[in-house]
Amino acid sequence: MLFNSIPFLIFAPLFFITYFLLRGQARLIFVAGASYFFYAWWDWRFCGLLLLSSVVDFWIGHFLARPDMADRRRKMWLMLSLAVNLGMLGIFKYFDFFAQSFTAVLNAVGIEATPLLLNVVLPVGISFYTFQTLSYSIDLYRRTITEPETNFIRFAAYVALFPQLVAGPIVRAAALLPQLREDHGVDWARIGRGIELIAWGFFLKLCLADTASLVVDPRYAKPEFYNALSHLIGSFAFSFQIYGDFAGYSLIAIGLGAIMGLDFGINFNRPYFATSFGDFWTRWHISLSRWIRDYIYISLGGNRGGELRTFRNLCITMFLGGLWHGAGWNFVVWGLLHGFYQVLQRIFGPPFWRIVGFLRLPRMLSLGILMLTVFLLTTFAWIFFRADNFDQAWTIIGIIARGEGWTLGAGEQMIAIAKMTVFAAIVIVVDALGLHQRARQYYLDRLPLRIAGLAALGWLIALGGTFSGASFIYFQF
């Protein structure tokens, strides 16, 4: 069920009315049941995987939490949890990719082989909920969580919670399970804030992302039909599309959670205002960034052990981060590019600031240069992320690099480009205002302003939203 669909418009109010009428275990049973219903709307067969992941980690959790168990045995139980969850991911998401890649290598060295493919459909949200349940097991193993969850229904509700089930935020058990133990009543202030977040999320999705997709999609469908200028516009458009799409989804999820009385944290914090790549990853898909930082980067040794080891760890972490996003070499290249950017930043960051000091450049100008550099390089990396395959990305980069044509002809989605530019400008201004604590507080403290803001979002969505029923990009991961 998509948030931007009519079934969800019916589902959501019914859910919340019932949610606030129930208490305790009945409410948990309802939340879990409604979340499975929400998930089954796509394909009921994959509810089994969701249940399997929940049962396995709930059961393993009890062994991992036992204080009297030897570390070696606890590690075995953790390995079992990893095997089940990563095994599910491996079969459904990566098997065909690795089989094809392996066959390609064999063919390249002269060994004739045809790949054995499973051709299975990727279950929606599998990358998100497996990471969510894994965090529970790993935290128990590391003793970050000391008490295992004893109520299976609560644990099932935590894993399947519909607002963030299919595309995050990845909320860890330590943060969410305690909140599910409370019986949240109707809190109008929270509900109001939730509605504001949902409205801004829908604006980002329907106005910015889906309008930008009208510019992006034709260019990636037939890259050879478009010239350099057209592809540059398409590349910038995708930067805004992916931001609007994913930040929009996250805000809707966080807003729905807020109405329920749950705090999912924030998942995006004005990422295109980042002044370094390290900064970018503390602002973009924050819940995943923290996950891979805590469970992969730090496990590899983090920045302990010298510069070269840190560079290696960054590249491995970003490589895995890229692979998490999709089973394709273009995602691997995207992840590695970000790893490489972070390495470059560590090498060239200190000399840059020495030059700034030497030239006595104003701090704002220096930060502006860095912000622009991060945005441009991120936009370049997004080409690999958006492309259907590596060759397509290379075709587009080739057209831009060779400078093939700098005029826009008829039929180049001029109206969509104009609309997207207006919406992107609105988003940049609102994000910039949000950077200033005083401006944000001024807005939050004035009810008439908030009512006007919410109404203005409603008008903009009605007048400029793209109602194509487009899915969210991150659903494919």
Other residues' Cβ atoms within 10 Å of the Cβ of residue 38:
21
Two tokens at 114?
């045809």
Q: Which residues are catalytic?
A: 325
d(CA 62, CA 267) in angstroms, rounded, equals 30
DSSP-derived letter for residue 225 is G
Q: Which is nearer to other proteins, 41 or 375 (CB)?
A: 41
Peptide bond into 169 cis (omega under 30): yes
* C-alpha distance across the termini of the chain, in Å: 16
Q: At its nearest, how many Å lie between other proteins and the CB of residue 214?
A: 10
The first and second tokens of residue 78, run together, are 């953790």
Instruction: Let me know: does 164 contact 258? Beta carbons within 8 Å.
Output: no
* CA–CA distance, 169 with 265 (Å, rounded to integer): 8
CB 184 within 8 A of CB 260: yes
CB of 384 to other proteins, least distance (A): 26
Q: Choose between 308 and 410: whose C-beta lies nearer to other proteins.
A: 410
**Sole residue written with tokens 């990636």:** 220
Residue 83 or 451 with smaller CB distance to other proteins: 451
Cβ 347 vs Cβ 362: under 8 Å: no
- Six-digit token pair at 55? 């049962």
Q: Which CB, 6 or 429, lies closer to other proteins?
A: 6
Cα separation of 456 and 450, whole Å? Answer: 10
Q: Which is nearer to other proteins, 167 or 258 (CB)?
A: 258
Residues 475, 125: contact at Cβ < 8 Å? yes
Sign (positive or negative) of CA dihedral 268, 468, 35, 159 = negative
Provide, rounded to whole angstroms, the least separation between the CB of residue 462 and other proteins: 4
Q: How far is the CB of 469 from other proteins (least distance, A)?
A: 10
Question: Which residues are at the interface with other proteins (CB under 8 A)?
Answer: 6, 188, 192, 409-410, 415-416, 418-419, 447, 451-452, 454-456, 458-459, 462-465, 467
Residue placing its CB nearer to other proteins in the complex, 121 or 452: 452
CB 381 within 8 A of CB 322: no
- At position 137, the amino acid (one-letter code) is S
The residue (of 192 and 265) whose beta carbon lies closer to other proteins is: 192
The neighbour count for residue 459, using CB atoms within 10 Å, is 9
In this structure, are residues 118 and 349 in contact, taking their beta carbons and an 8 Å threshold?
no
Comparing C-alpha atoms, which of 90, 265, 92 is closest to residue 176?
265
Alpha-carbon distance values, 344 to 41, 173, 315, 340 (Å): 45, 35, 11, 6
Residue 21 neighbours by CB under 8 Å, 6+ apart: none
State the minimum distance, in angstroms, from the CB of residue 411 to other proteins.
9
Q: How far is the CB of 463 from other proteins (least distance, A)?
A: 4
Instruction: Take residue 380 and report the two structure tokens written for it.
Output: 């370049």
Instruction: Between 149 and 196, name the residue whose CB sits nearer to other proteins.
Output: 196
Separation CA 165–CA 470 (nearest Å): 18
Shortest distance, CB of residue 455 to other proteins, whole angstroms? 4
C-alpha Rg value of the chain to the nearest Å: 23
- Count of helices and strands (H, E) across the chain: 22, 0
CB 465, min distance to other proteins, A? 7
Q: How far is the CB of 268 from other proteins (least distance, A)?
A: 26
Q: Output 141 or 200, the one with its CB closest to other proteins.
A: 200
Cα 77 to Cα 59: distance, rounded to the nearest angstrom: 10
